[in-house]
Amino acid sequence: MELKEFKTHFADGEHIFREGDNGDCAYIIETGLVEVSVQKDERKLVIATLGPGDLLGEMAIIDK
């Protein structure tokens, strides 16, 4: 069986997904940082900052 490698690169400040988007994949962060935030009362509220080895998006897939 052939093993395929799938990688996606995101630019600084680029949105990976937004609140309410349908989750169709999860990401393992290899390098850099990802900020998880929500808008609350017209302010950005940072929930978490994720880094190498962290998983992102798995709950969106589970929750659908």
**Which are the contacts of 54, defined by CB distance < 8 A and separation ≥ 6?**
28, 29, 34
43-62 average pLDDT score: 87
* pLDDT at 34 > cutoff 90: yes
For the segment 41-53, the average pLDDT, to the nearest whole number, is 94
Task: Report CA Rg, the chain.
Answer: 13
pLDDT tens-digit readout, 1-33: 776 778 889 999 999 888 878 878 889 999 999
- State how far the Cα of 59 lies from the Cα of 43, in Å rounded to an integer: 24
pTM for the whole structure? 0.75
